[in-house]
Structure 1
Amino acid sequence: MNLSFFDQFMSPSLLGVPLIALAILAPWVLLPAQSDRWLNNRLMTLQSWFIFTFTKQIFTPINHNGHKWAMILVSLMMFLISINLLGLLPYTFTPTTQLSLNMGLAVPLWLATVLIGLRNQPTVALGHLLPEGTPTPLIPILIIIETISLFIRPLALGVRLTANLTAGHLLIQLIATAAFVLLPMMPVVSILTSAVLLLLTLLEVAVAMIQAYVFVLLLSLYLQENV
């Protein structure tokens, strides 16, 4: 029973072929593409409003050199939100519960922001490793601590997204199993548990969107430090 709870996080396969690529392509198939018509339908209007609002909120504090990242970060935001929400449907798989996928997104983007800072403004980028006004005896220790914190950033990005989604999915399955087991013995308790499960599902929908937003927001903050 304990092992079956974690089976939902295993990458599905068909005839030995992993199907995680199919799950990753699902948002590309479901999201509507822009058309040449003057008037769009409600879904396209809502999508355009969301992209415009998100782009304005993320890139307002960043200078014009960082606006080149708008397409990458907005696409990443839509990709993560779509995958996280699709993973809440029954008989589906959430690719963002795999640490390998999240690290594959976090490490290259974080490294790109660091390399941009070292190329465009190396003095400022290296200056982040040593806060201003540091006492001389503490300089070596603070440089080591800031360097470690710099390299922990991509790990924190990937682990945060993986842990939050994994914990939410696991808690939903545990409560759903409890409600199913209690139904023949204690129907009233089972109904109350199902109500808690409904509220938890709504919370997990919010978590799926918030974690995607936090992932992209932190990347934008790293970019803001280096442009």
Structure 2
Amino acid sequence: MTVSLFDQFMSPTLLGVPLIALAITLPWIMYPAPTTRWLNSRFLALQGWFINRFTQQLLLPLNLGGHKWAALLTSLMIFLITMNMLGLLPYTFTPTTQLSLNLGLATPLWLATVIIGMRNQPTHALGHLLPEGTPGPLIPVLIVIETISLFIRPLALGVRLTANLTAGHLLIQLISTAAFALLSSMPVVALLTSTVLVLLTLLEVAVAMIQAYVFVLLLTLYLQENV
């Protein structure tokens, strides 16, 4: 039973070819490219409004040096939120439940923020490792603790996204299995379980959007410290 529950997180294959590459490419195919027409469709207008509003909100706390990351961070947000939402559909695969993919996204971006800080303002970047006014005996301990907290940031980004999506998918499968099992013996309980399942699915839609936003927001905060 335990193995069958976690089978949903395995990458499906077709003729021996993993379909995770198709699942990662799919978000970019779904969104239409902007046109040069004066009047676009409603979907294009809504898409442009969302991208502009999100970019403004994202760049609000950043200095001018961090505005160069606008296209990258906005694209990452759209990419993550689309994959998370598509994974809630039946017979689909969620690539963001794979820790390897999330770490592959988090580690290079976090490392880029650290390198930018060390290149542009090394004194300020190293100053984060030791708060001002620290007593002398605590200096080595605090440097070690802050260094560990610095290097654990990409792991925290990847694990947070993976754990939230994995837990939600597992709960949905467990509750749906219980509803099917109780349908013949206790239909009233099965109906109540199905109601809980619908509410949980709505919660997972919110979690899929919030976790994508939190992933990008934390990257923005890391970037803010180094620009």
* Short-chain TM bin: over 0.9
Which amino acid in the other structure matches residue 74 of structure 2? Answer: V
State the distance in 1 between where 2:107 and 2:2 align: 32
Shift of 1:14: 1.5
Segments ≥4 residues shifted beyond 3 Å: none
Instruction: Give the structure-1-normalised TM-score.
Output: 0.99
Alignment match, 1:32: 32
| Matched residue count | 227
Once residues 73 and 100 of structure 1 are traced to their aligned partners in structure 2, the CA distance between those partners, rounded to angstroms, is 20
The one-letter code sitting in structure 1 at the alignment partner of 2:33 is A
Corresponding residue of 1:69: 69
Question: For 1:122-201, what aligned pairs fall within 5 Å after superposition?
Answer: 122-201=122-201
SS in 2 for 1:72: helix
Instruction: Specify the SS of the correspondent of 2:56.
Output: helix
Q: What are the equivalent positions in structure 2 for 1:195-214 lying under 5 Å apart? A: 195-214=195-214
* Range moving further from structure 2, 161-170 or 35-44: 35-44
What are the Cα deviations for residues 164-194 of structure 1, in whole angstroms up to 9, with x where unaligned? 0000000000000000000000000000000
The 5-angstrom pairing of residues 6-17 of structure 1 reads 6-17=6-17
1:42 deviation in Å? 1.3
1:15 deviation in Å? 2.0
AA paired with 1:19? L
Q: Offset of 1:16 from its aligned partner? A: 1.8
Counterpart of 2:37 in 1: which secondary structure? Answer: coil
Identity between Structure 1 and Structure 2 (%): 78
Shift, 1:144, TM fit: 0.2
Deviation string 1:55-101 (CA, Å, 9 cap, x unpaired) is: 11111111111000000000000000000000000000000000000
Write the distance in 1 (CA, Å) between the matches of 2:91 and 2:211: 22
Distance 2:54 2:131 in 1: 32
Q: Paired residue for 2:21?
A: 21
Is 2:101 aligned against 1:101? yes
- 1:10 to partner: Cα distance: 0.2
Counterpart Cα distance in 2 of 1:80 and 1:157: 13
Output the CA distance in 2 between the equivalents of 1:88 and 1:39. 33
Q: Does 1:48 align with 2:77?
A: no
Deviates more, 1:14-23 or 1:117-126: 14-23
SS in 1 for 2:68: helix
Shift of 1:13: 1.0
Aligned to 2:218: 218
Instruction: Provide the alpha-carbon RMSD of the alignment.
Output: 0.6
Determine helix, strand or coil for the equivalent of 1:53: helix
TM-score under structure 2 normalisation?
A: 0.99
Q: 1: CA distance between counterparts of 2:2 and 2:226? A: 46
